[in-house]
Structure 1
Amino acid sequence: MKVRLGNLNARGQQKGVDAQIRSDLEALARHHAVTDTILLAGDEDMVPAVEAAQAYGVRIHLWGVEPPYGTNQAERLVWESDTVEVLSAEFLRPFFSRAPQPVTVVPPVTAPSPAQVFAGRTAVPKPHVKPGQVAKLGPSRPRVEDVGEHVAQKWILTRGRDNIRDLLPGPILPTVIDTELLIEAEKELGHSLRPYPEARVWLRDGFWARVYREFDLGVGVSSK
């Protein structure tokens, strides 16, 4: 095991580690010292080293950490790697803790009275929820399906029809592609879909609806 520490700049940021990792990866592959490499990274700068190692027959297994939403790994790096594994936040949480934040002492101020706080405000009526009915949270189905179609259209244009055709006949997506679809959708929506399993179904419905239209396939999608 070799630890690469790099250097700290004036702002306390660690620099130079990526370059050393790329150099190590290429050297190990060139000398046939490894057959498989686990790469815990997300920067697109690592792609050339991944491609160089693969040229020597080394399999690259990309690991990442589950983000709150969206993605923290470059799309091209994900696509170039041989396998992709995401470490869940639940798995990692016991091993990390937040550093205590400095407490700023604010001089006391005179608290306003309730009459001052609520003066001029109008009451906002709460949404009516019938007994036994749970207020539905999260994005609406039409919105999520629209995002699924938009991601499909984007992939057709950027990745090519041949690559998308390889996903047919569907409607099951490989795990890596399904994760990418979720990440792309979360980026467009601006929040996580992971607490809403039904939204992920709607997302896939919208994705396949667009793909089927592209290839003139009269295949229905799930309505679950």
Structure 2
Amino acid sequence: MDAGYLLGAAANLLAGDPVRARLTVDHAALATALAERAEAETGLPLLRIYWFDAAPDRRSLPEHRRLRTLPRVTVRLGALTRAEGRWVQKGVDAAMHAELTELAHNRACADLVLLSGDGDLLPGMVCAKEHGVVVHLWAVQPVDGDFNQSEDLVAEADERRVLDRAFVERWAQLRETGPAPVPAVRTPELRVVPTPRDLATRPAPTVPPALVLRWSSPRLTPAPPTLAEITSPEQRWADREEDSAAVPGDARQVGAVFARRWLSRLHRDTELLPLWADHPRIPHRLDAELLRYAARFGLLAAKDDQIDEEDRYAIRAGFWQAFADRVPRPDLAVAQE
């Protein structure tokens, strides 16, 4: 399975945009759906799902670490590099070709399901067929009703199937983007995003919650500790395990997980009340750590290697939501009454 093809085509089908970051993917549900569909079509038990993908420097992203914990799933990574201002995969096709020919040569399977659209895999498909393997080629339903696969690949396959929208929606949904809506109890939403100077001159209760953090703040003295400063080596190990197995790539949820972890390790909540004075800004050392944490979950823009602006809003919105759950702001509690 070429993850770039599958997730890109799925995003195009659901959002009209082939950027896979538009999707929130339940990887366990995806693996289950693929296994059930393959076993039903071939009438044979599943040997293994090979997940081929690319990552910067071939370093596993959180989604790859989560996939590796699933039964019968093997992850193979190529390199993700920049070329002419866009991301390109390197080594994925070659790895898929090698796996196809190796499985066929060793007679490890009788039927093989291929999820890809790349014509470079044609020699590998031919080799598998010459060794007696039945090749099933699956496509994601194209938006325009035409092929989203190489015509040569389609012509050479023994069996062809299309994964329709209902199948994709079993394991993928569109990510929520943009700032959260403004509750009626607050002041009307400002149409122009304020600058730091605007926020500094505006009383804190009048700042709408939709205008979540865009700038970090250096003003709080003494500055609160960072998460790294209050985390033991044992907790750091447990955090990595939790992140690899449970934390999704949803920007708002990532911000909330970071905030809850940080808050749970502080000693006194009373020291946190001054943070509301700078809402929606976060002390700059903590803000930088929050963004570094979020970057580990693949929340990167495709053009400039930075965290996408919409994700920045959502990350900080998640932070402040978790913060408000633990340390309510007195003036807002009165307003809501």
Judge same fold: TM > 0.5, yes or no.
Answer: no
TM-score range, shorter chain: 0.3 to 0.5
State TM-score, norm by structure 1. 0.43
Structure having the higher strand fraction is 2
State TM-score, norm by structure 2. 0.29
